[in-house]
Structure 1
Amino acid sequence: MRIIRDDLRGPEIAALLEAHLKDFEPHSPPESRHALDLEGLRHPDIHFYTAWEDGELLGCGAFKRLDATHAELKSMRTDSRHLRKGVARALLAHLIAEARAQGFNRLSLETGSVAHFAPARELYTAFGFHDCEPFANYVKDPNSVFMTLGLDA
């Protein structure tokens, strides 16, 4: 598996992100969906990465600079054909290392609170993320879980 910083130009990426956004529709009301679309992910404060193997897109993930020391994990997604192959684990490890290398000392995230998002929450917990209060512009929401990880070495 090869993980690269991506410019979000390929059609495979657009399709994966579209599937990512559609996946939330039955599980989160519109006001509780915080995923970014393709254009939103092209913001200069966002570092976007993709995982590839043999020319096939396996998954993606990003982090967004919130301030000089705090970043937010965004758009973690594994292509449905590659679930349970370690793609999300490899991407998350890469994102944590990249955020740390960029000088961030905290990485936070928002994810869903319903059962559909339980595998994601379990993955984040396995990496040391723990529940926290809403951060940045988020507010308490029964449909959201907020988690954070200290990146100090």
Structure 2
Amino acid sequence: MPIDIRPDDLSGPEMAELIAIHAQTMLAASPPESCHFLPIEGLRQPSVSVWSMWEDGALIGCGALKDLGGGQGEIKSMHTRSALRGRGLGRSMLEHILAEARARKYTGLWLETGSMDAFLPARRLYEAYGFAYCGPFGDYAEDPNSLFMRLALA
């Protein structure tokens, strides 16, 4: 059965659990003051679109896109269940978010990720899609535990 990526209203218990796992994963890899994940309430903002990824009726991942205004967006809450990593599921979610950003006519996408080794696979994924390292954006500040990336969209 193919992977199904669909909009999510964050009302289901499966998504609440996955967002909680995402938070625990981030807190396990980064100091709390350097964790910039959005809790489920933060994902329920009008400026944030959330997608869930399903396979055979099971929730396997998620991703979100925050509208920063001015034709810019920020990738948030990219997460794949740890037992399923290495299958290209993150790549599928990233491609979905990129397609949505292009459909919205965004001119740029931003993201914040960790600087620690635990985040190396994520950084390599973003690099493979042309994201380049940059300085902090929006409300972010310089932090040795954070790296910032941007992709210009045509």
Short-chain TM bin? over 0.9
TM-score, normalising length: structure 1: 0.96
1:147 Cα deviation (Å)? 0.3
SS in 1 for 2:28: coil
SS in 1 for 2:94: helix
| Cα distance between partner residues in 1 of 2:10 and 2:136 | 28
| Cα distance between partner residues in 2 of 1:25 and 1:109 | 18
Of 77, 80, 100 in structure 1, the residue corresponding to residue 79 of structure 2 is 77
Q: Which moved more, 1:78-87 or 1:123-132?
A: 78-87
Q: Which moved more, 1:113-122 or 1:76-85?
A: 76-85
- Pairs aligned (count): 152
Counterpart for residue 133 of structure 1: 135
Of 120, 123, 126 in structure 2, the residue corresponding to residue 121 of structure 1 is 123
Counterpart for residue 64 of structure 2: 62
Q: How does 1:1-153 map to 2 (within 5 A)?
A: 1-152=3-154
Gaps of 5+ in 2: none
Calculate the aligned-residue CA RMSD, in Å: 0.9
1:78 Cα deviation (Å)? 0.1
| Cα distance between partner residues in 2 of 1:103 and 1:137 | 23
| Cα distance between partner residues in 2 of 1:22 and 1:105 | 32
1:125 Cα deviation (Å)? 0.4
Gaps of 5+ in 1: none
| Misfit runs of 4+, over 2 Å | none
